[in-house]
Amino acid sequence: MSLRVALVDSGGTNIGSVSYALERLGATARLTADRDEILAADRVILPGVGAAGAGMRRLRELGLKEVLHEVQVPLLGVCLGMQLLFERSAEDGGVDTLGLVPGEVLPIKADYGVRVPHMGWNALTEIVDDPLLAGIGEGERAYFVHSYAAPAGPHTLAATTHGDTFTAVVRSGLRWGAQFHPERSASVGARLLRNFLTEVGR
């Protein structure tokens, strides 16, 4: 696969596993915080694990908030990376995030019987026809680990339910996000990553 894939050095602990998942698909992703390298890529992936405040701090310190606004090719946020695509997160007392996708990320409600953080396999529902989800069917399962989520809205491509229903996959223009971990989601995750490499932006 000759695509140039930039894996944004966001400091997330899932960077290695995302990189390995891409290698299994025949793609080589270059871990980078370099503006020119990111903007020269054919695909850009923003991984992330942890808190929104720390994630945004790192992106600002590296000057990457502005760079990600300049990206004109398909961009995929993964887990915290997806949450950072939105306008704001309620985490850490409220954090302004990248503003690439409309909406706010909110805490998962720890109601009776609902465990937080949400960890485990959940079914994808309300799937919208989109190249990123080609070949992924209603009810297929993906692996989630998170305490905050974006409510389902007009940009939601797939949802899931853990207490409330929230966004599992989102899209705004050339910006996509997956709340679940595709690198840990077996065939569904591999299919989503392959679609990101070969189907979106065509």
**What are the catalytic residues?**
79, 181, 183
Q: Which residues neighbour 66 within 8 Å (Cβ) at sequence distance 6 or greater? A: none
DSSP 121: E
The strand pairing partners of 121, in sequence order, are 143
Helices within 117-201 (DSSP H only) = 186-198
DSSP 172: E
- 82, 68 contact by CB (below 8 A): no
Q: Which residues neighbour 188 within 8 Å (Cβ) at sequence distance 6 or greater? A: 124, 136, 140, 141, 142, 182
Task: Give the Cβ contact number of residue 134 at 10 Å.
Answer: 14
Give the 3-state secondary structure of residue 49. Answer: coil
Q: How far apart are the first and last CA of the chain?
A: 15
Tell me how far apart the alpha carbons of residues 171 and 34 are, in angstroms, rounded to a whole number.
25
